[in-house]
A and B are shown apart, each in its own frame.
Chain A
Amino acid sequence: MFGIYLRPSWFGACFTQYALFFSLSFQIHGDFVLIRGDTVSNMSLTQALQEHKDRRKKDANAIMTMVVKQSKPSPITQQSRLGTDELFMAINPVTKQLLYYEDKAEYSKGFISLDKTLIADNPSVILHNDKQDCYIDICSQEVLSLFTDNFDYQHLRRHFVKGLLVDDIMGYKIFTHEIHSSYAARIDNFRSYDTISKDIIQRWTYPFVPDVLCGSSAIKVERQGTYRASDVTLSRSAQLGSFIFIGQGTKIGNDTKISHSVIGERCTIGSNVTIEGSYIWNNVTIEDGCQLRNAIVCDGVILKSGAVLQPGVILSFKVVVGQQFVVPAYSKVSLLQQPTQQDSDEELEYADSTSGTGELRSDKLNGDIAPDLSETASELGTGGVGYIWKVFEGAYDEEWRHSVAPIPTDKLVKLMLDRDEDEELLTQDGNVISASGELKTDSDGNGSEDDDNEDSRDDYVSFEKEVEATFLRAVHENVKVDLAVLEVNALRLSYNMASVDCGGAIFYSMMKLAVESPHNSASELHRNAADIVTTWQKLLKSFLHDIDEEIEVILKFEEMCLESAKDFAALFPQILHLLYDKEILQEDAILRWADEKEGADESDKVFLKRSEKFIQWLREAEEEEEEDE
């Protein structure tokens, strides 16, 4: 058994887990215990280690043992008490082997797919959603070598564990060890910071509690879970509620009410202050009349009199909040300006407004500790110093999930109502869950399809981007059609796509180019499109081999008209006609598409209606042909 202690600077130096494993593989021989730097636990590793070693002796393929703990998720918010999404694990209760691991399940789908072989190989399988992954792993040396061999394994759970579970060739197995009376949890967001702090105050992590392992100052526990250091200056009229921790050297003024909070060392808290559910670190000055609710306040912060912190606020080091200023809920305030994030390929900007990048300030990050007061006077009130970081548009809805503040009851009620609605919708469709809530396996029986679907969607998007890039380059540089065909083929092989996908992507690129070229009217647009299609028809035709693929193209066009290239909506039938003329689409394809659409919802039939005339004409033409023959 080999133990190695890594100083925090390793993790701070932005090593990916891969790089870390690679460098460790030269130094570690034998089994090792892998924990993260933010794990809080009082478990004894002896039993887990013993089990792991015994298993290794019997089966050399048992390379990893994960420590798990029972923790029920909230049925309303679908997240665990630590703020992580519900985790689904399939475990064989006899051998404790882990058979399925999914931490990013899709609730909209309402089901998860399990591989048939899973159930065939294991006489009993229990699917858990009430287990929490403690991120304490006992690994054997094969883990290191697997990481070094597969250089695209970046993340231990998302890639490594899932990859291993799907991989049949090597047959490596992962096992679990459940702890009951011991405590283990990992702090990876603000919700878990709050929850684990409260667990420590409630002494679930005994003996790692503030009064037993406190270091220099003696901390006493009083009734109702109050921890007080020996050297606290407390005014007589101050009211200390339950479950609070007050550190060494702190001064608390008159009529101050503190409840469910943690206050660090050497803080100065004035009079008439209300602190509820907050975490205040060391050397903080809070002047009279402030109100803090469910906030985190870091070292050295000054809150001038009358400041109000709404739930979920995070104040970073040395921020100063001005007088009477109300910091809005869920905001993060720092002395440093918010870093800007840029898209990796600027030329491939998709019109996607919720991509989550916040382009707010073009200034670079500066290391100034005291930026110009006049510039920031408006940010945090008079005398305030710091910047409020704006929340990304797409992410605003999710701020409350991972915040220090508990989820407000009205949000919970709203969630419950939404969930009931969703359930109704799902059962109406009839294709998801049966009334008794049984899991339906996918018709193909391919268990990893679920994971694949997500990945393949990402892949498809990037494939589309690549195809578009290739096409645009071909247009601009006047590349020959044959060469363009070759290029697109190569892309298809590298992304492992079918030719129908190529067809769709190329068509999409063509139409997009048409839309983006300058046009003043619909007829001009039509002419543009016609030009492009004429020039590049061979390219398109080479990828549309049979009718199904052509139908795909039509469907894709519909989608485009609905979403990205709305200009085409009016021209739908004309373009269809154009494609027919250029013999890119056969009449059978169009007619089959029309037939299939007959059974769909009204909203889907919009384009069908518009193309009524054309389709009518097509049918007549067909009949005529048949008559001729």
Chain B
Amino acid sequence: MPYTNQAAALIHSVKAVGERLIAANPVELAVGNVVRRVLHIVREEDLSLTTAAMAGLNLSAESDDEDDTDRDNHPALSAAAIAAASRSTLRPPSLQTLLEDVPDSAAVPHTSSSGGDSEGKSKSADKSSRSRKLKHDVIEAVNELIQDISTCHELIAEQAVEHIHQNEVILTLGSSRTVLEFLCAAKEKKRSFRVFVAEGAPRYQGHLLAKELVTRGLQTTLITDSAVFAMISRVNMVIVGAHAVMANGGVIAPVGLNMVALAAQKHAVPFVVLAGSHKLCPLYPHHPEVLLNELRSPSELLDFGEFSDCLDFGSGIGAPLLHVVNPTFDYVPPKLVSLFITDTGGHNPSYMYRLIADYYSADDLVLERRTTSGN
């Protein structure tokens, strides 16, 4: 599909790859998030280049005409050409964009001066240099994104001191690397506090977290998930990690956290969710593409051998009487969450939708490729 615009072609290819990545594991929402971030980056870079180009045009309009040939990057273009250029960028055409461009183009009475060849050459040269600049900018921005993702734990952990105070009791469930670093950062800053760790059946990752915390020198108490409601009254704050944060502020978290959130709300304990910005998903939980849960193997709950006589389908009606369900995630509605701590700072759940506009473009929410060109 021929695209006049380099950026549109790039976006099309990224969407194609992104679709396949998301289809491979729809439960892992972070994959879709990163794909959409990259698309947003491409669009943004392209937009900024176009606006720079047009700003450059203004300059050239005021300077000498004879210096055309030097100015490879900023050829003289007619108003129509400028309007066409702005249309071919990926900003949706709106009244605002058109009004923005008109005064610029009115100030440029120039027509392209030289003969066909040099104009052609300069146009193609402009295109190739512009695409090189686009490529360069996109690569830079993507590298920044990679950097952000890898340092999100540290950025979040830096804020630990503001939230954890002296002699506090913190409750967590399961094991999350962000939470571990958060707590250790507070420990480094000489806050003394205690941690209650709920074991997080059936994978019992709470055990691993408890071990880690002890090696770092933190006072830890290990409890079962069912004991959370009993212990919550003694807790000052609940701090947990998340699998994904939805656009409405709801959290997809490891199973059992909805129960913890409800317990925290009942006892007026703040429920704090730590999440890097790459976990923020622009979709709402009711979106059909979002898989809220993943059902894993029942062998984590039951020993197959011991229960194999309940699983004998060869007699009676052949229908299984014993069905074992092992969901991996829980959905925590936004009203149960008190605070989100991301790498950009602490936010209200109702504020999360604003961050989406910073990171994602509206066109990318649905990643299916359309057959129309350039859109």
Q: Which residues of A contact B (CB under 8 A)?
A: 42, 69-72, 74, 76-77, 79, 81, 83, 130, 180-183, 191, 194-195, 198-199, 202-207, 212, 218, 220-221, 224-225, 242-243, 259-260, 277, 294, 405-407, 409, 412
Contact between A81 and B313, CB atoms less than 8 A apart: yes
Q: Name B's interface SS.
A: loop
Contact between B295 and A406, CB atoms less than 8 A apart: no
A sample of 18 cross-chain residue pairs with beta-carbon separation below 8 angstroms, ordered by A number, consists of: A70-B304, A70-B305, A70-B308, A71-B304, A72-B305, A74-B309, A74-B315, A181-B299, A194-B313, A195-B314, A202-B323, A205-B297, A207-B297, A218-B26, A294-B318, A406-B315, A407-B314, A412-B316
| Given A69-B304, A218-B23, CB of A203 within 8 Å of CB of B314 | no
Whether B303 sits at the interface, judged by CB under 8 Å, is yes
Contact residues in B for A203 (Cβ distance below 8 Å): 295-298, 326
CA A81 to CA B305, docked complex, whole Å: 11
Contact between A260 and B319, CB atoms less than 8 A apart: yes
Whether B320 sits at the interface, judged by CB under 8 Å, is yes
Within 8 A of A (CB), among B231-245: none
Known: A180-B303, A181-B300, A181-B303. 6 other contacts (CB 8 A): A74-B312, A74-B314, A195-B314, A204-B297, A204-B299, A294-B318
Nearest-neighbour CB distance to chain B for A473, whole angstroms, equals 50
Contact between A406 and B318, CB atoms less than 8 A apart: yes
Contact between B317 and A406, CB atoms less than 8 A apart: yes
Contact residues in B for A79 (Cβ distance below 8 Å): 314
Nearest-neighbour CB distance to chain A for B325, whole angstroms, equals 9
Q: Mark B305-346, 1 if CB is under 8 A from A, else 0.
A: 110110111111111100110100000000000000000000
Whether B291 sits at the interface, judged by CB under 8 Å, is yes
Interface size for B (C-beta < 8 A) is 29
Q: Name A's interface SS.
A: loop
Contact residues in A for B312 (Cβ distance below 8 Å): 74, 81
CA A180 to CA B317, docked complex, whole Å: 27
Contact between A76 and B324, CB atoms less than 8 A apart: no
CA A198 to CA B318, docked complex, whole Å: 10
Q: Which of B295, B299, B300, B320 contacts A198 (CB 8 A)?
A: B320
Contact between A202 and B298, CB atoms less than 8 A apart: yes
Contact residues in A for B319 (Cβ distance below 8 Å): 243, 259-260, 277
Within 8 A of A (CB), among B267-319: 291, 295-300, 303-306, 308-309, 311-319
Contact residues in B for A42 (Cβ distance below 8 Å): 297
Contact residues in B for A224 (Cβ distance below 8 Å): 323
Contact between A202 and B308, CB atoms less than 8 A apart: no
Contact between A130 and B305, CB atoms less than 8 A apart: yes
CA A203 to CA B316, docked complex, whole Å: 22
| Given A199-B311, A204-B298, CB of A183 within 8 Å of CB of B304 | yes
Contact between A191 and B297, CB atoms less than 8 A apart: no
Q: Which of A194, A206, A259, A405 contacts B297 (CB 8 A)?
A: A206
B310's nearest neighbour on chain A, judged by CB, is: A72
Contact between B305 and A71, CB atoms less than 8 A apart: yes
CA A218 to CA B314, docked complex, whole Å: 31
Contact residues in A for B304 (Cβ distance below 8 Å): 69-71, 180-181, 183, 204
Contact residues in B for A243 (Cβ distance below 8 Å): 319-320, 323
Contact residues in B for A212 (Cβ distance below 8 Å): 25
A311's nearest neighbour on chain B, judged by CB, is: B318
Contact residues in A for B296 (Cβ distance below 8 Å): 203, 206
Contact residues in A for B26 (Cβ distance below 8 Å): 218
Contact between B298 and A72, CB atoms less than 8 A apart: no
7 A-B pairs closest in CB distance: A70-B305, A406-B318, A206-B297, A181-B299, A71-B308, A81-B312, A72-B309
Nearest-neighbour CB distance to chain A for B285, whole angstroms, equals 15
Q: Which of B26, B297, B314, B323 has the most CB of A within 10 A?
A: B314
CA A412 to CA B318, docked complex, whole Å: 13
Contact between B315 and A407, CB atoms less than 8 A apart: yes
| Given A180-B303, A203-B296, A206-B296, CB of A405 within 8 Å of CB of B318 | yes
| Given A71-B308, A72-B309, A180-B304, CB of A83 within 8 Å of CB of B314 | yes
B303's nearest neighbour on chain A, judged by CB, is: A180
CA A277 to CA B299, docked complex, whole Å: 24
Nearest-neighbour CB distance to chain B for A130, whole angstroms, equals 7
Nearest-neighbour CB distance to chain A for B350, whole angstroms, equals 30
Nearest-neighbour CB distance to chain B for A40, whole angstroms, equals 13
Q: Which of A69, A195, A409, A412 contacts B313 (CB 8 A)?
A: A195
